Homo-oligomer: A and B are copies of this chain.
Amino acid sequence: MIVITKPNITEERIQEIVAHIERANVQAHVSRGTDRTVIGIIGKAEPTLAEHLRQMKGVDNVVKISKSYKLASRDFHPDDTVIEINGVKIGGEHMVVMGGPCAVESPQQIDEIARLVKAAGGQVLRGGAFKPRTGPYSFQGVGVEGLIMMAEAGKKHGLLTITEVMTPEYVDVCAEYADILQVGTRNMQNFDLLRKLGTIRKPVLLKRGFSATYDEFLNAAEYILAGGNPNVMLCERGIRTFETYTRNTLDLSAIPVLQQLSHLPVISDPSHGTGRRELVEPMAKASVAAGANGLIIEMHTDPDNSMTGDGVQSLFPDQFAGLLKDLEKLAALVGKKFDTAKESAEAFAVWQK
């Protein structure tokens, strides 16, 4: 951490700042420039020290050199985190595909889609039982019933399941039925929810807030990790920009950046990231080429009649299957192993007994 003073600061002010630093049990190293003085801080300071220093008179800026997150950082954990759930590995060289509808609508719907996700080579069934909607009059999901329908479909077809949890009080019931809990983009900084997810051990897929910086994203993951749950996946799902043609702007640089800053698996969501069916395929491929550890893709058997209106970004089952075939070849080119249908069939054999 470095403190940069305002020009022409008095010696007395400098000494006040130094004294403040030393009271925090770290060392101050003063460097007087032509018009400004720079004070380096040596040692492990409390996170609040920077905040206090920034407020002191005569201080122009405080530059943090170390990151504010620790457990999420690759500095702390150099090897890739690989999360294993019932034989399916997520992270490192393993690539997964999560597929399914925006919302669970009925037992028939989710069962049929699960069958198709499995047949196409997917490993995880996605589906929302609780839906975050911009307005209160839109369809809000079928609730706990949906969790049950999805758990049954997953079990029957040998798929893991992932579903969104929106509030701390529903964490336990979601964890009972689903294999992976998803935190949506609007809840990335719902700190009470993150803290609650830190108390369980079920894997969590944390979606990036649509205007969150990489630093904020990793700090949000840190909340879960700091609570004791090491099973966190990061998900890039598009950021908000000035462009309105696409629903969001999928930031694929996030994939290599997050993998460099952190050891956690990074999943890409080209469906929400673009909001347009015809862009899902090229952006899914681009995600894999950029090094994603997995994809979460919306697929629907009847997208024209999906209950949430997200059908416009859902692939048809045959498109989904075709895409997965292409992804398998692409994954091989970038050193990823995509556990296709055949392999996962074996992996699931034990689990289904």
Chain A residues proximal to chain B, CB less than 8 Å? 2, 4, 7, 29, 31-36, 38, 40-44, 47-48, 50-52, 54-57, 60, 63, 65-66, 68-69, 75, 132-139, 166-169, 186-187, 189-193, 195, 210-211, 213-216, 219, 222-223, 226-227, 239-246, 249-253, 255-257, 260, 273-274, 278-279, 282-283, 285-291, 303-309, 311-312, 326, 329-330, 333-334
Contact = CB atoms under 8 A, between A and B. Distances in A.
B166 A169 contact: no
Query: Lowest 8 A-B CB distances belong to which pairs?
Result: A51-B309, A211-B211, A55-B311, A289-B289, A167-B192, A286-B290, A186-B189, A286-B286
Contacts of A211: 210-211, 240, 242
Contacts of A289: 282, 285-286, 288-290, 330
A119 to B, nearest CB: 23
Contacts of A40: 31, 33, 38
A239 B245 CA distance: 15
Contacts of A223: 135-136
Contacts of A290: 282-283, 285-286, 289
A215 B245 contact: yes
Nearest to A68: B135
| Interface class of chain A by DSSP | mixed
A272 to B, nearest CB: 12
A57 B40 CA distance: 22
A139 to B, nearest CB: 6
Contacts of A257: 245-246, 279
Nearest to A5: B65
A56 B132 CA distance: 23
A222 B2 CA distance: 29
Given A285-B289, A330-B330, A65 B36 contact: yes
A149 to B, nearest CB: 20
B330 A253 contact: no
Given A169-B169, A214-B243, A245-B214, A75 B189 contact: no
8 contacts: A51-B308, A52-B305, A132-B189, A134-B189, A135-B222, A136-B226, A215-B245, A249-B249
